[in-house]
């Protein structure tokens, strides 16, 4: 469920007509619903009720400070994958003891930043990283709490570019080598092993791959404890999918995921961490755009909008589907028209949808790209010297701009022409 609904023929974000925001800030823009973000976080929190747990929002999905502040105030931790994300989490008021540092390429500078400023744990992904973290910790006179990410060789049956738990993927250590790697970690004086980390991919629409991975984690927990390791925390990653196409069957709900976690891991007495991003933020956001032209082609008609692939790259990068709906509700029985929905960037890949049946639209009409709250604004760029688009948050009947559109002067002033030119 989200809070973007038609009322009296107009599409609202909570209690604010999206057209009103468009009039105030211009198009295109992102809009997030505070009520939806809150609801989705609480669904996960409730799903693990009865277990010692922490819900860490995967910041790579949406790192706007207002989003992080809202979730942090609800009690969320943060899963960060860079020093920049760590700084954002802290700037949003999230304490270090609720921040988990993931990622395959942590630098010594990033490790030092987190150790000096406070960190819940590092999810270590390789033996070279483990050694580097040990060295940094010892240089600071600290001990770094770690889990080790194991690769369970489980096919998540998701898109090739977001599968992370197969043996050919770059993430984690092979689970077959886990005992040896944990034994080595125990010899490093700058590290303290506290648990196991696993994450098999994103946008999973079935629970079976999760269950297969978690059962391997449960078996590994018993083995490592028998070897003398204190395994008290299990970081299960994220990855639960959302319904991008509303005509399709919905993915499992957080409560189904939580029940499966309890069934597979509940008897181990471990604290559970999960790191959802997409399911919390995805359907909590839309991107609103205006039609520039309707172009009649020889074989198809093109709906040319003022948003582009630099604003929302998922369709170009992943072939991803986003429902595209008008801000004025279609009248019952209106005959649909078929369009290719495209942006103005000088790339054939700047295509949001092909052969999409929609109500007939004209220049100046407004449309909303649904399910755009995750991996939208965070992946945007200024390609073609197009300014980053505003982000807006709605709460009840009011809204605020939480990232302004930069001016062209601000964009140009970031460049420097050397004196010798």
Instruction: Tell me which residues are annotated as active site.
Output: 346
Buried b (16+ CB within 10 A) or exposed e, 271-295: ebbbbbbbbbbbbbbbbbbbbbebe
8 vs 5: CA distance, rounded Å:
10
281 vs 350: CA distance, rounded Å:
24
112 vs 125: CA distance, rounded Å:
17
Measured CA to CA in angstroms, residue 313 lies from 42, 154, 198, 342, 379 at distances of 29, 28, 27, 12, 7
**Of 413, 408, 397, 391, which is closest to residue 64 (Cα–Cα)?**
391
392 vs 402: CA distance, rounded Å:
5
What would the two tokens of residue 287 be?
């991107």
Tell me: cis bond preceding 28? Omega within 30 of 0 counts. Answer: yes
> What region does 8 belong to: left with phi over 0, alpha with psi -120 to 50, or beta?
left
406 vs 411: CA distance, rounded Å:
7
What would the two tokens of residue 327 be?
């801000």
The secondary structure element, H or E, covering residue 223 is: helix 208-226
231 vs 338: CA distance, rounded Å:
56
Angle at CA of residue 244, ends 243 and 250, nearest 5°: 15
User: Distance of alpha carbon 86 from its chain centroid, rounded?
Assistant: 15
Q: What is the β-pairing status of strands 10-13 and 4-7? A: antiparallel
Measured CA to CA in angstroms, residue 294 lies from 28, 210, 248, 338, 358 at distances of 17, 45, 29, 11, 13
Helix axes 254-265, 208-226, angle to 10 degrees: 30
Q: 48 and 321 in contact (C-beta within 8 Å)?
A: no
When computed from its CA atoms, the radius of gyration of the chain, rounded to whole angstroms, is 23
**Of 257, 258, 241, which is closest to residue 371 (Cα–Cα)?**
241
Helix axes 108-117, 83-91, angle to 10 degrees: 20
């Amino acid at each position: 469920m989200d809070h973007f609904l038609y009322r009296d023929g107009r599409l609202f974000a909570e209690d604010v007509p999206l057209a009103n925001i468009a009039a105030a800030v211009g198009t295109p823009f992102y809009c997030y619903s505070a009520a939806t973000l809150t609801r989705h976080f609480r669904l996960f929190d409730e799903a693990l009720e009865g277990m010692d747990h922490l819900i860490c929002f995967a910041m790579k999905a949406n790192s706007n400070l207002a989003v992080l502040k809202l979730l942090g105030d609800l009690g969320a931790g943060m899963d960060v994958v860079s020093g920049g994300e760590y700084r954002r989490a802290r700037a949003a008021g999230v304490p270090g003891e609720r921040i988990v540092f993931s990622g395959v390429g942590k630098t010594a500078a990033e490790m030092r930043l987190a150790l000096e400023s406070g960190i819940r744990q590092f999810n270590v992904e390789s033996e070279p990283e483990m050694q580097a973290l040990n060295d940094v910790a010892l240089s600071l006179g600290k001990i770094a709490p770690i889990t080790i990410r194991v690769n369970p060789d489980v096919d998540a049956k998701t898109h090739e570019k977001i599968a992370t738990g197969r043996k050919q993927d770059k993430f984690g250590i092979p689970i077959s080598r886990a005992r040896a790697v944990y034994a080595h970690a125990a010899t490093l004086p700058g590290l303290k092993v506290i648990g196991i980390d696993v994450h098999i991919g994103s946008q999973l629409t079935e629970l079976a791959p999760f269950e297969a991975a978690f059962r391997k984690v449960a078996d590994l927990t018993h083995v490592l404890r028998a070897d003398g390791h204190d395994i008290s925390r299990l970081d299960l990653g994220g990855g639960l999918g959302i319904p991008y196409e509303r005509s399709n069957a919905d993915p499992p709900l957080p409560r189904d995921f939580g029940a499966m976690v309890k069934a597979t891991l509940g008897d181990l007495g471990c604290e559970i961490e999960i790191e959802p991003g997409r399911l919390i933020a995805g359907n909590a956001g839309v991107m609103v755009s205006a039609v520039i032209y309707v172009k009649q082609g020889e074989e198809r008609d093109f709906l040319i909008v003022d948003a582009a692939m630099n604003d929302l790259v998922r369709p170009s990068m992943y072939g991803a589907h986003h429902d595209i709906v008008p801000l004025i509700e279609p009248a019952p029985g209106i005959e649909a028209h078929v369009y290719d929905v495209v942006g103005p960037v000088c790339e054939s890949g700047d295509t949001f949808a092909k052969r999409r049946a929609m109500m007939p639209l004209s220049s100046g009409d407004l449309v909303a790209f649904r399910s755009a709250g995750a991996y939208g604004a965070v992946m945007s760029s200024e390609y073609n010297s197009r300014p980053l688009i505003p982000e807006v948050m709605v709460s009840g009947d009011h809204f605020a701009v939480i990232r302004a559109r930069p001016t062209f002067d601000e964009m140009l002033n970031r460049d420097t022409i050397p004196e010798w030119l």
